Amino acid sequence: MAIRAEHLLRLRPSLKSTGLWTLVLLLLASGAIAPVMILVAAADEVMGTLFAIFAWFVFAGSVVAVPRFLWPTQSANGGMALLVGAEILVVVSLYFSWIVDYGIAVSASLCGGREPAESASWAIGSLAYACIGSWAFRSRGRVLWAWPLAVVVGILVLALVRVVVPGAHGHCET
């Protein structure tokens, strides 16, 4: 059976679906970055304050837009409420997983350089967060529990890579 051009065109993602998933990734990024930027802004950093305001505006715009495109047959207000509730759970899970990551990061950095492990851990942890978070948005019922789960898994992957990648820790002479 020969492959026709029509079959290949059907496999290509449409501009609408590409834009939609870009919007979902913006929501995932701003939903995780905005709460962290409040801490940076609290440290009296002018650029941190501006970035925090920008991140919250991106998050608010995404919360308004995403339910209309992902779940067009359901109430937009209900979708926005669902995303705000999920964001509250994301902030709570971000806080508790960050405490665990902080302990692991301090332990891993006591004896050895962190340079190779830092960039690798952030890249792989962010990728895990984006993959699970994007999967969470495929179903409206999944967002409330899978988005916070994506945060926890992303931070745990980040911590695991910090420990596993060579250069993250070494033998200590005490």
Domain with 65, as residue range(s), is: 16-164
pTM beyond cutoff 0.85:
no
> Does residue 130 form part of some domain?
yes
- 5 in a structural domain: no
For the chain, residues with pLDDT lower than 50 are 5, 7-9, 11-13, 15, 174
Q: How many domains does the chain have?
A: 1
Asked whether residue 40 is domain-assigned, the answer is yes
Question: Could you report the per-residue pLDDT of 99-144, keeping only the tens digit for each?
Answer: 888 887 777 666 655 566 677 888 898 999 999 998 898 888 899 9
Look at residue 62 and tell me if it is in a domain: yes
With respect to residue 112, please indicate whether it lies within any of the assigned structural domains.
yes
Q: 48-80 in b/e burial notation, b at 16+ Cβ within 10 A?
A: bbebbeebbebbeebbebbbebbbeeeeeeebb
What is the predicted pLDDT for the residue at 147?
92
Which run of H or of E encompasses 26? helix 15-42
Residue 6 lies inside a defined structural domain of this protein: no
